[in-house]
Amino acid sequence: GAVVSQHPSRVICKSGTSVKIECRSLDFQATTMFWYRQFPKQSLMLMATSNEGSKATYEQGVEKDKFLINHASLTLSTLTVTSAHPEDSSFYICSRTVDHNEQFFGPGTRLTVL
Amino acid sequence: AQSVTQLGSHVSVSEGALVLLRCNYSSSVPPYLFWYVQYPNQGLQLLLKYTTGATLVKGINGFEAEFKKSETSFHLTKPSAHMSDAAEYFCAVHTGGFKTIFGAGTRLFVKA
């Protein structure tokens, strides 16, 4: 069964609103989780590394004030897209690592900003 | 720095034919190598991985891959394609730290 869940699976919002995406590790406490963004027909782009109890580590070019990450517990990381705009529309995927950094991915969240 | 190159963004095979998806990597240290599969509007699922030991690794759904250090390759194969194999396939490399580098992906089409 799934070991990483995401909620919601799909969200449509108006431009200017904020959207929160939850990522849960169901079977294991995860001190580190990852957030990816995937544009249509493209590969995954790592946005940030979510660290339990501390600040997230953002990749170069990712606006930390726009993509707020909170990892308040060992099983939950959240990504909030603030003041969303149409260009933020994308598929967002979270993951956690296992041995040798094999990753378990969530099912993804399709964000559409109108 | 490590990198992953997947040759061919699209591969089309007939049902029952051999599947070969190519992956080359660059790494200054022994890598961990992965193949993931992604079905439409879903997350990625691990097909197989190479860490150490036997260089020919077998995964789910009849897929296998061979780590060839001299060629810096980790090509994915399946002897006989099935319609259900149609998906996007990603090769990935991890060489330490927390980051995994993904290839651009190869979309596999299977024709009846």
Per-residue pLDDT reduced to its tens digit, A79-90: 999 999 999 999
Q: Is A30 helix (H, G, I), strand (E, B) or coil?
A: coil
Q: How many Å separate Cα A7 from the centre of its chain?
A: 10
Which residues of chain A neighbour B99 with C-beta distances below 8 Å?
A: 46, 49
In a 13 Å sphere around the CA of A69, the CA atoms on its Cβ side amount to: 26
* CA-based nearest residue in chain B for residue A48: B99
**A32/B98 CB distance under 8 A:** yes
The overall average pLDDT reported for chain A is 91
The DSSP string of chain B is --EEEEE-SEEEEETTS-EEEEEEEE-SSPPEEEEEEE-TTS-EEEEEEE-SS-SEEE-GGG-EEEEETTTTEEEEEESS--GGG-EEEEEEEE-SSS--EE---EEEEEE-
Q: What is the mean predicted confidence (pLDDT) over A47-55?
A: 90
Residue A28's pLDDT is 83
- The tens-digit pLDDT sequence of chain B (112 residues) is 778 999 999 999 999 999 999 999 998 788 899 999 999 888 899 999 998 889 999 999 999 999 999 999 999 999 999 999 999 999 999 877 667 889 999 999 999 9
Position A100 pLDDT exceeds 80? no
Which residues of chain A neighbour B104 with C-beta distances below 8 Å?
A: 42-43
Q: What percent of chain A has pLDDT over 90?
A: 72
Residue A111's pLDDT is 96
Flag the least confident range among A50-54, A95-99, B68-72: A95-99
Q: Does A7 touch chain B (CB under 8 A)?
A: no
Mutate to test the interface with A, among B3, B4, B44, B46 (most CBs of A within 10 A): B44
